[in-house]
Chain A
Amino acid sequence: MATRKVFDDLQEQVSKKLEVINSIEDINLFRAEILGKNGKLNKLVSELTKEELREVGRVIKEVKEELTVILDKKSEELVSSVKIDLTIPGVPHKSGSLHLVTQAIDEISAIFERLGFVRRRYREIDTDWYAAEGLNIPKDHPARDDQETFYVSDNIVLTAHTSNGQLREMELVKTPPIKMVNIGKTYRRQSDVSHTPMFHQFEGLLIDKDVTIGDLVGVCTAFAQSYFGKERKIRLRPHHFQFTEPSFEVDITCGICNGTGKIGEDKCRLCKSGWLELGGAGMVHPNVLRNGGIDPAIYNGFAFGWGVERVLMMKSGVSIADIRDIYSSDIRYLEQF
């Protein structure tokens, strides 16, 4: 039949053309030419009379399918013949980064949020009252030795610890329960491989009725295990801070030697007999509670204050040789995190 031949001709035309096509662009163009809305196949079909259409209706479907198959096959061949080395180094869009300290603060924040502590950020520059005297550290006291404080005036200091947040929080909330973590910048007159003049601390405070040391151990353990790992343990050692009584130093088992203090036969170089110092803690001193407007006969509580950079360096396990590197602006360093 005449019509059938027309379709056969079309198929032959396509086969011939396919032998010379050798680019993906061309095969796509050709495909549209043949199978497109205004393509050759549809044009042919539109030229058929009603009678002819009835006769070759099914054939059209078969032809279309056949053409699609050979066109697709050619298309695939061309695509798959463009072989590239899939292992070449990638060139991504510019990648940004959060600062290491921001990441640490974010993670620390989240852990305490889960424990039900509200996140605060109190003043970096505060009066001597909030920074020391109100915390039971009188002027001329030897305890002031431990913090080399920057002074803005006789009465205004750059806080050397986030403990001013304790008094501020007590004044804010007024009636216990009080449960907060204050994370902010702190300053000390020190600059060497393990100290920067500006650094960050996080300070936890919980005040309620009948708070126990067990509660303090529980919260510190929860933090330590969330941040450093489930297998880590903490211990408290007696210490002294003017604003807590009893006071403790909190240690955590060393991640390198697993708390044994030894690596094989040798002493572990990172820790002191299997333990690393995390920071200070204690039960809030009754004078501090009173200064914050809380009655120590009814309420008591615990507090702890630790260094963000410190826990950061302990977590990475990578010994950052010089803490001052943390504040580098070199992108080659920043983008590693």
Chain B
Amino acid sequence: MDLLLPYSLLKEHLETEASFDEVCNALTLTGPTVDRVRDAGDDKVMEIEVITNRVDAASAYGIAREAAACLPEFGHKAEVKPLSVYEGEINGDENISVQILDQSLITKVMAVVIDDIKVAPSDNATVDLLEKMEIRAINNVVDITNELTARLGVPVHAFDFDKISQEKMIIRESNKGEQIKLLDGTTVKLAGKDIVIEDGNRRLIDLCGVMGGELSQIDENTSRVLLWVPIYEPRRIRRTSLYAQKRTLASQIFEKNPDKGIVESVLRMGVKMLIERASGKVNSKIWKFGEEIEMRSLPLSFDRVRTVLGQDLSDLEMTSILNRLGFEVSKGENKAMVTVPSYRLHDVEIEEDLIEEILRIYGYFRITPTIPTVNISELAPSPLLKKEIEIKKWLASRGFNEVMNYSLNNSKLYKDFGYDVEKLVKVTNPLSEDFEVMRPALLPGIVQSYEANIGKTKDIWLYELSNVYLANEDNDALPSEISSLCIISNNQDYKEFKGEIDLLLKKLGLMDITYSTDNRVGYSQVVALRYADKLIGYIGQLENRFLRQREVVTIPWIAEIELETVIAIENDKLGYKLLPKYTPVKLDLTIATDLLVGEAINKIKKSDSRIYSVSYLGSYQNKQSYSIEFYDPQEVLTIDIAKKTLGKIEEQFLL
């Protein structure tokens, strides 16, 4: 969360001779980062990033503590100023009647009643201060509660005591469906198990930790104020504020478990302000609830700190740093014992946390970089990763542009391609319907990519090599993530496209692919590709209806490759074909057959070992023509021998 802190406010809690820039720099390097600085007349407002585990720094006082701890590390004197609170006795006639139905809801609370309140607008200085923090000034009482939160980091609430029926308060869990009208005028329906306060007439007067109820709000007639300083159970506050969509500053602080130890100071500072600014008079005892804070001591090995740091740092220096942070250090036998201050109990739980405290104040920027030279035994990436990048680079060098589409898409897209949407990997909380399901295939997405280029680029040759996701039948098991390749091209010449695919497969060591006609959604015509009976992919033409633009002139060719299957195929055909020592005998052959050309070629090649190459010349009706080269490394073939062999080949096709 972000904290807006006017420097003028910080200076009220911090005594130092360091300059503004030096303060910002010291804080940023060792603790809360000062992201930006806003100019505000002769003041400056710091935008500070408060990280989740450092709610103790979500206030002026908290930042002052941090600054006082780190500035000396940069050679500057710095001290936290004592808090200005009501020192007198707190007593009176008013009776605060609070019943806590479930003690797990609230860990500490202190309350007091102030009478004779005169509600009026706050003075200029206060309004100015609140404005710098982007808080709207409302009236002196409400403004005091906001100022207390900003100064000390515990969100306090002021109830109009007269509006609390029978002056009775019951703190309990809410029931599902209960409603409460809040200070901002909205009415919220509760999920149940929220922390709420109801009054003597069973009316909800507070959505604890999130926002006060309208029923008990301070108005211009308020004369008795119940000042309420609570610490609530953090998880419930978080759940309530998320469900009700009220991410107020109060909820953001309470969900992070603020300091119980400062509650009394907050109360007393509030009392002082109400007396001074709203002419109030204390008129009750302090009503309190909550166990004594259990202190925590942790063992610390100074040697361990030095090991993690990798440099020298004396025990004395480390102790000094811890002390400045509010930790007490006492020497033990082997390890020192460090007592954690109340405001760090939520966060410092193990020795590692102490080490972090020491090292961050010491300054990470003081650490000398080293390169770890330890070697692991297995350094090579998996064959899949290796081959993927090789294939990508190959295709790019061949003229194809790589696209990368989102893995999430609209389920409609896959429905159109014939996928059963129920069987897809679905997201239960999509961002929009465009990011609903995980793609089971690359083809539909790449068709969209293709369409995005129609009319803009003449030659559209694309490929995508990435994961597709298949749901596991068992809902509790993880879906499969399978690497796939899809290529699309509007090359008018099919031979060129097929040539690229042949070349790619050859590069992967797969020659002599077998073909079979097939049917597949998305294709108007398609053949399946196999290597040694394993399905390795498909090649064909896109079905026209998948292109939304009707004036399209070329229908693209597509190829899908089962990448993981292909890469898993063992082939170390790193050999090469010996060059012929004499010119092979070349003869032409025309056959009548119903076989696909690819299949016919395979058959021809298989028929005799002395076939050096087979070239496809063309087809006419059911006749196919080939040019075949014959070569035998052992003997020089004559034309006669070649012709005889050709005859045998021809016979095969007559059968």
Contact = CB atoms under 8 A, between A and B. Distances in A.
A124 B479 CA distance: 10
B372 A235 contact: no
A251 to B, nearest CB: 9
Contact of B425 (A126, A152, A196, A208): A152
B295 interface: no
Interface string A146-167: 1000111101101000000000
A152 B479 contact: yes
Contact of A213 (B308, B375, B378, B460): B308
A239 B54 CA distance: 9
B448 A142 contact: no
B97 to A, nearest CB: 33
Given A93-B399, A239-B51, A286 B352 contact: yes
Interface stretch (A10-18, A62-70, A71-79, A214-222): A214-222
Contacts of A173: 376
Given A96-B401, A208-B372, A150 B33 contact: no
Contacts of B406: 196-198, 327
B468 to A, nearest CB: 11
B193 interface: no
Contact of A125 (B234, B399, B452, B481): B481
A123 interface: yes
B365 A235 contact: yes
A213 B308 CA distance: 6
Interface in B426-446: 426-431, 435, 438
Interface in B274-298: none
A300 B459 contact: no
A119 B431 contact: no
Given A152-B427, A213-B310, A246-B355, A94 B399 contact: yes
A46 interface: no
A177 B399 contact: no
Nearest to B489: A94
Contacts of B376: 116, 118, 173, 177-179
Contacts of A124: 407, 467, 481
Given A116-B379, A236-B365, A331-B457, A143 B52 contact: yes
A206 to B, nearest CB: 6
A173 B310 CA distance: 26
Nearest to A208: B374
Interface residues of B, number: 91
Interface string A230-272: 0000011111100001111100000000000000000000001
Given A119-B381, A150-B429, A153-B476, A330 B372 contact: no
A126 B350 CA distance: 29
Interface residues of A, number: 84
Contact of A245 (B29, B256, B356): B356
Contact of A206 (B35, B372, B403, B453): B372
Contacts of B478: 123, 125-127, 156
B174 to A, nearest CB: 17
A120 B379 CA distance: 10
A217 B52 contact: no
B124 interface: no
Contacts of B449: 329
Interface stretch (A37-45, A81-89, A185-193, A311-319): A185-193
B52 A240 contact: yes
Contacts, number: 234
A125 B479 contact: yes
Contacts of A210: 307
A97 B397 CA distance: 7
Contacts of B234: 142
B475 to A, nearest CB: 6
A75 to B, nearest CB: 31
Given A99-B402, A177-B376, A197-B408, A189 B429 contact: yes
A125 B425 contact: yes
A211 interface: yes
Contact of A118 (B378, B398, B481): B378
A335 B51 contact: no
Nearest to A212: B310
A115 interface: yes
Interface string B225-244: 00000000011001100000
A124 to B, nearest CB: 6
A214 B368 contact: yes
Given A115-B371, A142-B255, A153-B476, A198 B389 contact: no
A58 interface: no
Nearest to A190: B431
Given A106-B389, A125-B478, A240-B51, A330 B452 contact: yes
B157 to A, nearest CB: 21
Contacts of A118: 376, 378-381
Given A125-B469, A221-B369, A286-B352, A332 B457 contact: yes
B370 A218 contact: yes
Contacts of B175: none
Interface string B388-416: 01001101111111111111100000000
B452 A177 contact: no
A238 B364 contact: yes
20 contacts: A95-B399, A96-B395, A98-B402, A99-B404, A118-B381, A125-B469, A142-B256, A143-B52, A151-B428, A152-B428, A179-B374, A214-B367, A214-B369, A214-B370, A236-B365, A240-B53, A245-B356, A286-B350, A327-B406, A334-B402
Given A96-B402, A191-B431, 14 more contacts: A99-B402, A116-B373, A119-B381, A125-B481, A156-B476, A206-B374, A210-B307, A211-B372, A212-B307, A214-B367, A214-B369, A240-B51, A245-B355, A286-B352
